[in-house]
């Protein structure tokens, strides 16, 4: 039973480590997401600043081209962001499933432990009962042995008296 409990502890520690790694990865992804957002915000500020400085038509055309490229790049970043969100969502779902499975497993193990405790208690009761019966039988046999020894002693006395009487006769 101690081996089972130790094995359960090891399994729980292993799963706790996995859970912590998942949390670290989620934190890393969240940090990356913040950096991307900050980068995006910086680029938007830069474009606004540049567009305010633009006075010539040629510069406007260049900025339009830049804006088109930025839009494509933004779509790409949004796709990446969506991928990251989907990955984080899947990780969270996986974690929730794992957590539920662990709760179920812990519940099952607790129930099994409870059943084993009941079994041990039953065995202890039976052992106690058998011990009492054995003591009673030992006492009875001890009394019978004492009686037998007493009877044997009487028999020896009577036998010796009998022998003595026979000699006298």
pLDDT tens-place string over residues 9-49: 898 888 888 888 889 998 999 999 999 999 999 888 877 76
Q: Say if residues 91 and 25 touch (Cβ distance below 8 Å).
A: yes
Return the closest-CA partner of residue 26 out of 83, 80, 82, 85. 85
pTM of the model: 0.38
Q: Where are the alpha helices (DSSP H) in 1-56?
A: 2-53
Structure tokens at 29: 């992804």
Residue located via tokens 């009673």: 136
With residue 101 as reference, give the H or E element that holds it: helix 57-168
Q: Is 30 helix (H, G, I), strand (E, B) or coil?
A: helix
């Amino acid at each position: 039973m101690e081996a089972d409990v130790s094995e359960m502890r090891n399994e729980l520690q292993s799963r706790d480590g996995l859970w912590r790694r998942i949390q670290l990865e989620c934190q890393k992804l969240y940090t990356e997401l913040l950096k991307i957002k900050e980068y995006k915000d910086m680029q938007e500020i830069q474009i606004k600043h540049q567009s305010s400085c633009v006075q010539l038509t040629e510069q406007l055309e260049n900025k339009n081209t830049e804006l088109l490229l930025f839009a494509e790049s933004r779509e790409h970043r949004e796709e990446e962001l969506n991928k990251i969100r989907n990955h984080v969502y899947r990780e969270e779902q996986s974690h929730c499933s794992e957590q539920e499975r662990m709760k179920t497993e812990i519940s099952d193990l607790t129930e099994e432990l409870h059943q084993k405790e009941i079994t041990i208690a039953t065995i202890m009761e039976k052992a106690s009962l058998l011990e009492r019966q054995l003591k009673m039988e030992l006492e009875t046999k001890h009394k019978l042995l004492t009686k037998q020894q007493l009877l044997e002693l009487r028999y020896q006395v009577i036998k010796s008296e009998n022998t003595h009487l026979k000699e006298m006769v």
